Amino acid sequence: ERQEHELINNREFGLLNNCEYEQRIQPHAGVPGPDDLDELLSRRRGSKLFLAHPRAIAAFGRELNKRGLVPETIDVSGTRIPTWRGVPIFPCNKIPVTDASTTSIICMRTGEEEQGVVGLHQTGIPDEIEPSLSVRFMGISEQAIISYLVSTYYSAAVLVPDALGVLENVEIGRWS
């Protein structure tokens, strides 16, 4: 849970903070509509996924319903996920919602070959049991409780600016 939160929100390497200014857009009417997601898609080639707070997905669904549109869905590990223009919209409750009921929708291209967003792992750390994960024995207490220190090292990198885009200030509390 904490790792997911950091990958989205960390000031140094989080996705929301590493999006270039030119790749940040505002919704046309406050609520997230098809035109907004189309604009987000048009700013990058080969978008692989959207990340949106579940309430943003619901707001987008309401906008589609108002226009008589039905999003396609795909099966991901037995769960139906909505898509827009064939790009899956994954729910992510780590994207913050403000007191004014606004949030962001992230769109990204992934993978090193695609010059997208990639996950970074530190290797060669002491007591490493797999890349970026170390488990260090800390001792045994008087109550015979064994203690270990488990550490994980992770980060994300945006290889080229157009690999990541954000639709900001999306209104999710307004029903029209």
Q: Give the DSSP letter string of 93-161.
A: TTS---TTSEEEEEEE-B-TTTT-EEEEE--S-TTEEETTEEEEEEEE-TT--EEEEEEE-EEEEESSG
101 lies in which domain range?
2-112+159-171
- Indicate whether 134 belongs to any domain: no
The letter for the amino acid at 128 is E
The CATH number covering residue 78 comes to 3.30.1930
The total of structural domains in the chain comes to 1
- Indicate whether 98 belongs to any domain: yes
Q: How far apart are CA 104 and CA 26, in angstroms?
A: 9
- Indicate whether 125 belongs to any domain: no
Look at the alpha carbons of 176, 84, 106, 130 in this order and tell me if their dihedral is positive or negative. Answer: positive
Residue 168: its H or E element: strand 164-171
- Indicate whether 63 belongs to any domain: yes
User: pLDDT truncated to tens, each residue of the chain (176 aa)?
Assistant: 787 888 899 888 889 998 999 999 999 999 999 999 999 999 999 999 999 999 999 999 999 999 999 999 999 999 999 999 999 999 999 999 999 999 999 999 999 999 988 887 777 778 878 777 788 888 888 988 988 888 777 778 888 999 999 999 999 987 65
> In 3D, which of 129, 107, 17 has the Cα closest to residue 60?
107
- Indicate whether 133 belongs to any domain: no
- Indicate whether 152 belongs to any domain: no
Q: Are 94 and 4 in contact (CB under 8 A)?
A: yes
- Indicate whether 86 belongs to any domain: yes
- Indicate whether 64 belongs to any domain: yes
Instruction: Give me 81's structure tokens.
Output: 């996920």
